[in-house]
Each structure stands twice: as structure tokens, then as C-alpha cells.
DNA sequence: TTGCTTATTGGTCGCACACTCAATAGCATG
DNA sequence: CATGCTATTGAGTGTGCGACCAATAAGCAA
């Protein structure tokens, strides 16, 4: 009756199986946390035996690192698509802030906190975190640079500005696990405010204007 | 020979023993991380049997929460002393930034990341984190309010300003476990810059001035 | 000094984890 | 249809964790 009682083996190509494992691990990492990415948990997810996961990832730590990398990659792509066929830089940046401030982003904030903490003990994960930090920074820097070229933004150093924006976002996301009540609007708006200030934009260009009486 | 081979029991008052346990747990939390606060680890630290720790903390989670609370309390007191007999508010705030930006603060940043993440799974710890967030916010708000009263600072809402400063500090501290190279000065200075801007102070009032040619 | 309260021990249990490896069976290939 | 390669299983190892509890002895009070 239940499909969980599966006896028959399903044999897949190494590439396909590996991808399947990484996908499942990334999903678990994003929803339940990186410490739930265990051989048993992922095996259960795919309805295979734990030994199989070990076969593809002889060290469990590598799977955890891969899970984070994959999840972060995916999030970055929806947050700041590499290809931006149409729209102004301001529009792209505004969309970025909408996504990165919405409640749906909490899961991503949690993942980053998770990874940043766990990387204290796991070198393989730490490497991935450093990689992803660079990737996110570069992707945002690219967008800012494009805006500068188009004359939309004005900043001496797009990279410094993008780091500043990301620092504020990290600070806002830090509370994703504890946040209870609402925050003052001046706090919620900090990321947008920072961007507008550092890019020489008028208030309200990148998001809802501060306080409408 | 070795003092670790201790047979003789040392019987202490419950209050003293409990305090001793919490102190040891706080120290381990600060240096090795909250996941190292285990019955066995703390027992070893005090050269007693694990069962004794269980006796004082029937649930290990409560010990972890207590360890974080104690460590955070201690750090807050050296960072923002409640009693400020002498000196201007600017001086106190400047000292705060020196401490909260120095390399010695990395351990504290790590502890906060640790606690914020772990509180995802442990309700008792989460409560403590929320408590400490409030305590830190209030302590900083008090300092800002005092500065406003004395005419040193100018801000509409000291609490909002203090949250903004703390958000930036959280953002800067987020990388305590991965930081490799140096950061641009404009990033390092973000906390001070934010404070100066939001408090209507001239650049350089609260820390080393930006870029000396 | 004796006795009593209770802080402390030592041992045990069950659980979840990563890791190992010989045996097995799916499936593409001929 | 038979065969060989190898993806997959099943079973077992060792570790560290929290929790539990009866037995023990430290040190205070009588």
C-alpha cells in the first residue's frame, strides 16, 4: 500500500543519483537546517539506504557543504539573476530589496546564520561560505556597476557599496530565528536607505518612501 | 601525581556549586561554542561526574541557555557598563565602538551567531537570546538618551537609533567565523559612521576620522 | 563523637550519528 | 538471452550524547 515499503532497487546513473542527493540535501538544509543534513535523513528522503549516501559522499561534511552551496546558489539566482534582459538597474535593485526584505526571505537568512555558525567547526563548509559570500558580493557589485555606467547610480566604489548593503542585510537577517514583534519602519528600511544614500539616489527610489503622513 | 586522579569528593553548597557550573559553562560557551556545553564537558572542566551536572540541570538545554545568558551578561557589562560615573556620553560611546570593533570582540560575535542559530531548535535558549537582545538594546538606548539629555547627541528616537547601530554591528559580526582578508575601511567604520550620522555628530567624533590624506 | 541529611558518585540505558564492507541485484551491453 | 560491471543494500562498528537511579560518603548539627 504505502510507497515507503519499497523493496525493489532503482539503479540510476551516478550523475543523476548524485544530483538527486544534492537537491534533497539542499532542500533539507533550507527548510530544516544544515544539522539535519545527515546520511540517514537524506537517505530517508530519497527512500534509499544510508550506505548509498556514504558511497557518493564518503565524508558527510562534504555533503553538508554541497547542500549549502547548492541552496545558496539557487537563492542567489532568484534574488539577483545574472541575466537581466530588460529593466533599469534601479528596478532590478528595487526588486532585490523587495525579495530580501520579505518574510519569505527568512528561510534564507536562517540558512546563512546556520552556515556561518557551523563553518566554525567544519572547514569544508567554511570554504563554501567564503565562496558564496564572494559570489553574492560580486553579483550585487555587477548590478551596481551597471547602474553607474548607465548613469543611474553614483558611487566611488561599487564594491564597497555592495558590501555595505550586504552588511546591513546580514544585520537585519540575524534575528530571523528570534524575531517576535514588529520592527520600527526606520529599521526595516535600513537596507534600502543605505543603498539610496550610498548611490546618491533620492529617498523612495528603491522602495516605499519613508513615512507617508 | 596528576591532579586529575581525584578520588576524594568535595561537597559544596548547592548555590556555590551551581554558580561554579554556570561559570564553567559560560567560559566553554564563549571559547568553544554552545554545542560544547555538554554534561560530560562541563563535568570534566570541574573534575566531577556528569551525573552531578544533571542533578543541578535536569535538562541540559537549561544549562546551555544559562551559559549563554551568563556569558552575554558579562560581555555587556564590560562593553556598556551600567554605571558611568565620569566622562561624556560621546566618550562612553566611542569606547563602546573601540571594544565592539576590535579583534577581541570576535569571540563575542561568534557567541551571538552561535546562540541565534541554536535558538532555532532550543526554545529555552531562544528565550534567553530575546532577553539579551532587549538588555543590550536598552543599555545602549540609555547611553544615547543620556547623551541627548546632555545636549551631546541629537536624535528623534534614541531606541530606533540604538537598534540601527546594533543591526550594523550584527552585520559586521556575522563574518566572525569566515573573515579572511581585511575589509575596506569604509566598511569597518560602518558602525561608527551610522552612529555619527544618526546622532547628528561630525565625522570623527566617535572614532578615527575617515581617510586622512 | 555520633547520626543524618543530601551532595556526589558510578554505572546503565537508549538513541542518533558517521563510517566500513562484503554480498546482492539492476541493467546495459554483447 | 546471457554476462559482466557496478550501483545498491544490509549488517555491523564505534563514538558521544542526555537521561536515570541506587549506592555512597562529606560535613554539619546534635
Residue A193 C-alpha cell reads as 536607505
What's the rounded mean pLDDT across residues B192-203?
Answer: 96
CB less than 7 Å from strand C: which protein residues? A 8-11, 36, 38-41, 50-51, 54-55, 57-61; B 7, 9-14, 17, 48-52, 55
Å between CA of B192 and C1' of C21: 59
What's the rounded mean pLDDT across residues A67-84?
Answer: 97
Q: State the pLDDT at residue B175.
A: 92
Is residue B212 pLDDT above 90, yes or no? no
Q: Where are the domains of chain A?
A: 67-198
Q: Do residue A178 and residue B119 have CB atoms under 8 angstroms apart?
A: yes
Taking contacts as CB-CB distances below 8 angstroms, the residues of chain A near B123 are none
Question: Which of A33, A168, A183 has the CB atom closest to B171's CB atom?
Answer: A168
Q: For residue A5, what pLDDT band results from cuts at 50, 70 and 90?
A: low
Neighbour count for residue B208 (Cβ, 10 Å): 14
Instruction: A73-82: list long-range contacts, CB under 8 Å, 24+ apart.
Output: A73/A132, A73/A135, A74/A26, A75/A108, A75/A111, A76/A132, A76/A135, A76/A136, A76/A139, A80/A136, A80/A139, A80/A140, A80/A143, A82/A139
Q: State the pLDDT at residue B182.
A: 83
Tens of pLDDT, residue by residue over A101-150, are 988 999 999 999 999 999 999 999 999 999 999 999 999 999 999 999 99
Q: State the pLDDT at residue B211.
A: 57
Average predicted confidence (pLDDT) for chain A: 94
Protein CB footprint (7 Å) on chain C nucleotides: 6-11, 16-22, 25-27
Average predicted confidence (pLDDT) for chain B: 94
Q: State the pLDDT at residue A73.
A: 98
Q: How far apart are CA B134 and CA B76, in angstroms?
A: 12
Tens of pLDDT, residue by residue over A19-50, are 999 999 999 999 999 999 999 999 999 999 99
Chain B CA closest to residue A131? B178
Does residue B127 sit at the A interface (CB-CB below 8 Å)?
no
Tens of pLDDT, residue by residue over B90-117, are 999 999 999 999 889 999 999 999 999 9
What CATH number should be reported for the domain whose range is B65-198?
1.10.357.10
Chain B CA closest to residue A166? B171
Chain B CA closest to residue A177? B120
Q: Which single residue is written with the C-alpha cell 540558512?
A: A111
Q: Do residue B121 and residue A168 have CB atoms under 8 angstroms apart?
A: no
Taking contacts as CB-CB distances below 8 angstroms, the residues of chain A near B117 are 113-114, 116-118, 177
Q: For residue A2, what pLDDT band results from cuts at 50, 70 and 90?
A: very low
Does residue B179 sit at the A interface (CB-CB below 8 Å)?
no
What's the rounded mean pLDDT across residues A163-190?
Answer: 93
Q: What percent of chain A has pLDDT over 90?
A: 86
Tens of pLDDT, residue by residue over B2-48, are 334 556 899 999 999 999 999 999 999 999 999 999 999 999 999 99
Does residue A155 sit at the B interface (CB-CB below 8 Å)?
no
| Reported CATH class of domain A67-198 | mainly alpha
Q: Do residue B175 and residue A133 have CB atoms under 8 angstroms apart?
A: yes
What's the rounded mean pLDDT across residues A170-176?
Answer: 95
- Beta-carbon contacts of residue B83 (< 8 Å; ≥ 6 apart): none
Taking contacts as CB-CB distances below 8 angstroms, the residues of chain B near A163 are 183-184, 187
Taking contacts as CB-CB distances below 8 angstroms, the residues of chain B near A112 are 174
Å between CA of A89 and C1' of C16: 50
Q: Do residue B190 and residue A113 have CB atoms under 8 angstroms apart?
A: no
Amino acid at each position: 500500500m504505502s510507497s515507503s515499503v519499497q523493496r525493489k532497487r532503482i539503479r540510476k546513473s551516478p550523475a543523476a543519483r548524485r544530483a538527486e542527493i544534492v537537491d534533497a540535501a539542499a532542500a533539507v538544509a533550507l527548510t530544516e537546517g544544515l544539522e539535519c543534513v545527515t546520511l540517514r535523513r537524506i537517505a530517508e528522503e530519497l527512500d534509499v539506504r544510508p550506505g548509498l549516501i556514504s558511497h557518493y559522499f564518503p565524508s558527510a561534511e562534504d555533503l553538508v557543504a554541497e547542500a549549502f552551496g547548492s541552496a545558496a546558489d539557487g537563492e542567489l539566482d532568484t534574488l539577483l539573476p545574472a541575466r537581466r534582459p530588460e529593466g533599469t538597474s534601479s528596478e532590478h535593485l528595487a526588486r532585490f530589496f523587495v525579495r530580501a526584505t520579505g518574510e519569505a526571505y527568512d528561510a534564507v537568512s536562517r540558512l546563512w546564520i546556520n552556515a556561518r555558525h557551523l563553518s566554525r567547526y567544519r572547514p569544508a563548509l567554511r570554504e563554501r561560505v567564503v565562496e558564496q559570500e564572494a559570489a553574492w558580493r560580486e553579483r550585487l557589485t555587477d548590478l551596481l556597476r551597471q547602474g553607474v555606467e548607465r548613469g543611474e547610480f553614483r558611487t566611488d566604489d561599487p564594491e564597497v557599496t555592495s558590501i555595505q548593503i550586504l552588511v546591513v542585510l546580514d544585520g537585519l537577517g540575524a534575528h530571523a530565528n528570534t524575531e517576535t514583534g514588529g520592527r520600527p519602519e526606520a529599521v526595516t528600511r535600513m537596507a534600502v536607505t543605505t543603498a539610496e544614500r550610498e548611490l546618491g539616489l533620492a529617498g523612495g527610489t528603491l522602495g516605499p518612501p519613508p513615512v507617508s503622513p
